[in-house]
Amino acid sequence: LLTFAAPFLAAAGPDRAGALVTSPLLLTLLIALSGAALLVELQGEALNARTVALLGILVATNAALRFLEVSFPGPGGFSPIFALVILSGFTFGPRFGFLMGVFTLLASALITAGIGPWLPYQMLTTGWMGMSAGLLGRWLRTVLPSGSRGQPRRVVILALFGFVWGMLYGLITNLWFWPAAVGPAGQRWQPGMGLLTTLEHYALFYLTTSAWWDLFRGLGNALLIGLVGAPTLRALERFRRRGGVQGGGDEATRQRGREKAMRDEAPRGGRRARQRGDEAPRGWGEAEQVRRPLHPLVWVVWLGSALVVVSTTRNPLYLVELLLVALVVSFGIEGDAPAPWRPGLRFGLFLVGFSTLFNGLSSHFGRTVLLSLPSGLPLVGGPVTLEALVYGAINGLVLLTMLFLFAVFNQALPAHQMVRLVPRAFHEAGVVLSVAMTYVPATRRSLQQIREAQAVRGHQVRSWRDWLPLWMPLLVSGLERAFQLAEAMVARGFGATADRALPLGVRAGLAGGLLALLTGEIVAAFYPSLRGAAPLLLAVGVALLGLSLWRAGRRVPYTPYRSSGWGWREGVTLAGALLTLAVVVWPGLGIACAGEQGGLLLVGCRGARLYNPYPRFAPPPFDPLAGLALLGLLVPTLASPRSPRAGAVESAEGTEPIGGP
């Protein structure tokens, strides 16, 4: 809360306090660390196997809806994801609602490449939305009659609640950029102008720039909850009683007892298992040793380098080359097996075409006029220029490239290997995120199957109202899948964690570390005479957070099945990815050339200007050094020969998979 309120606190201080909020990096870091501390606290008391599975499936459903929202934007700030966060929090309680909001924004940002300094603000704000819905549910159960008699009133109250939070969401998340925004003097943030003046300026800024945008979000929340709220609440409540998730009474206690008994009966010897982690089980043979997959961290660096390239350039030649690189790497991983990006290829090409057409008709800038539409037409009236079409195609190509890169990453790195990358303090949270990321494609396939089944019965999708009958089958099938996954997790030894609360010392260390970081920055901004103490406070805060997270991780009963090795293939692949990254961002090679309007910032900046088709179209430049640098991302194909999917072994009957998420 102190970090969110930093613009108002700093404005009440001296002019030098402006350094506290003019750079979003510091406050974003504090918000992210606060969210990390909350996740460590919540997962220790809330996440058993059924909660993890149910939370992961619901987050996957919401992430799929977020992907549709990004692909087909609605009016203003409308988004379909907030209604399910509110309804889930209302049914399963404030802890579940907070986690639902946090993981929904995180998973959808990973899928839609929406990671940026705004993400921690959005995650915590959506978490508060779900948490407050859970608190509202607790209160309404005491004042409204249970069963169907009180259901209409609950839906009406939740619809109003969704409208209010649709407005509050923008009001809160705008704080991450408002101090750095440029606008009229009566709306700008300025240090030292006083608390009341700051509130007045922000109110004017919100009413003139964001209120109408948030109005569509609030109305959309109210409309969705009013249309599907009652059947969704009935389904969620039925599964809550069946599974004993978050407040399921005696059934939840019995479930925890069963999982604890299974955990107690599990074989000991975790230390010996870790020591033998590099040994392959008997019968795997030498062929499996050769096909050992690359270390997961190598693929993380590979994806990060590729995403830096995509986010740094708008040159279509480099984007096309990166697409071809991803295609070659995908074939190198799968051999002749079908790759996961093939079903979405048609959809990706549709995105490019849609972006081209939409920008060409709505943006009327550029000098090469192809045709002119009547000026009386709303939005599309005016000249249609070649430059606008090219710019829209480039935007669609950026999204298509990001989708391909994430598809290759998911293809190369199974979900159970992603879990190993998460620090032990966030193990349960990592499992939830992995379940969500894994089941997003399954959710999309389930929606397609439901549409086909409804079409057989004569149902046709002609307008947005025709999508409503598809919602409940999709939700119920996801809930059924969650319980099947939970049973599999319990059978494989994922025990309950509801009885594993964090010690008071760990909690105090997390809170003390965050306060020390914030205090250090406040001292540096407000008290120049004590500025020498700021580095000490920052060091103390980092040390307390690191020690507390380490202590929290030591309490996680997690034993890896097999540890990932590190050999020459990992070194070569890492070197290729880092070479590409260095050519793009290394000082003196890339960023130092920003004066050239650097797009893809390259060695010497030759031919590396930011490609912009405006004001008159010209062919994009191409630097041969850029092409050679991007080929560094091809190293995984050279270091990993074409073979059956990693994790499979030869048997007398053929190739059989081993393991799984």
CA distances from 145 to 160, 244, 557 (A): 19, 22, 43
For residue 388, give the amino acid letter.
A
Among positive and negative, which fits the CA dihedral 585, 586, 591, 593?
negative
Residue 506: both structure tokens together: 């760990």
CA–CA dist 377, 514 (Å, integer) = 54
Residue 51 in contact with residue 36, Cβ under 8 Å?
A: no
Q: What dihedral angle (degrees, nearest 10) is formed by the CA atoms of 491, 495, 496, 500?
A: 180
Is 499's pLDDT higher than 60? no
Q: What's the Rg (C-alpha) of the chain?
A: 26
CA–CA dist 316, 334 (Å, integer) = 27
Is 6's pLDDT higher than 90? no
Span 519-529, average pLDDT = 75
Point out the least confidently predicted range of 159-163, 177-181, 653-657: 653-657
Residue 650 in contact with residue 287, Cβ under 8 Å?
A: yes
Which distant-in-sequence residues (6+ apart) come within 8 Å of 216 by Cβ? 74, 75, 76, 77, 78
pLDDT at 400: 85
The DSSP letter of residue 655 is E
Point out the least confidently predicted range of 161-170, 398-407, 468-477, 634-643: 634-643
Span 438-457, average pLDDT = 79
Average pLDDT, the chain: 75
Provide the whole-model pTM.
0.67
pLDDT at 269: 41
| Angle, CA of 119, 4 and 62, to the nearest 5° | 35
Span 49-53, average pLDDT = 83
Point out the least confidently predicted range of 81-85, 164-168, 279-283, 574-578: 279-283
Which run of H or E residues covers position 394? Answer: helix 386-412
Point out the least confidently predicted range of 104-118, 302-316, 372-386: 104-118
Span 316-342, average pLDDT = 75
Is 116's pLDDT higher than 80? no
Is 473's pLDDT higher than 90? no
Is residue 330 classed as helix, strand or coil in its secondary structure? helix
CA distances from 479 to 59, 448, 460 (A): 11, 17, 25
Span 367-386, average pLDDT = 85
Point out the least confidently predicted range of 373-377, 493-497, 516-520, 641-645: 641-645
Within the chain, how many helices (H) and strands (E) appear? Answer: 24, 4
Among positive and negative, which fits the CA dihedral 142, 144, 149, 155?
negative
The DSSP code sequence of 402-469 is: HHHHHHHHHHHS-HHHHHHHS-GGGHHHHHHHHHHHHHHHHHHHHHHHHHHHHHHTT----SGGGGHH
Is 229's pLDDT higher than 60? yes
Is 434's pLDDT higher than 60? yes
pLDDT at 19: 55
Is 398's pLDDT higher than 80? yes
Is residue 47 classed as helix, strand or coil in its secondary structure? coil
pLDDT at 167: 93
Span 242-251, average pLDDT = 53
Neighbours of 340 (CB within 10 A): 15
Residue 126 in contact with residue 86, Cβ under 8 Å?
A: no
Orientation angle between helical segments 81-92 and 211-243, nearest 10 degrees: 40
CA–CA dist 171, 210 (Å, integer) = 8
CA–CA dist 294, 573 (Å, integer) = 9
Highest mean pLDDT, choosing among 57-71, 187-201, 369-383: 369-383
